[in-house]
Amino acid sequence: MLYRAWHRGMREMDILMGQFADFALPTMPEAELDAFEALLEAPDPELFKWLTDAAPLPPEFDTPAFRALKAHHAHSGPIHV
């Protein structure tokens, strides 16, 4: 899964998914691993739209794994201080 997260095809998604996978996969519960694997099957353009709120998230992808992925990349202030 780590390799697949870093080699998606769309560089932006490589970064979003890969960084999250590096951080979360070692401690992710089995049920969330299954949900993350389903996210890896989603097409990059769709997943990117869901993460950026450019398109509504389908209910089948509204999982703790998706919410953790989105929260991992949420910033409430400046990124570079």
pLDDT grade, residue 21 (50/70/90)? Answer: very high
Provide the whole-model pTM.
0.86
Residue 75 has pLDDT above 80, yes or no: no
How many Å apart are CA 24 and CA 76, to the nearest integer? 20
pLDDT grade, residue 73 (50/70/90)? Answer: confident
More confident residue, 79 or 57: 57
Residue 2 has pLDDT above 60, yes or no: yes
Determine the topology of domain 2-72 in CATH: DNA polymerase; domain 1 (1.10.150)
How many Å apart are CA 81 and CA 71, to the nearest integer? 20
Give the angle 36-38-44 at the CA atoms, nearest 5°. 95
Residue 51 has pLDDT above 80, yes or no: yes
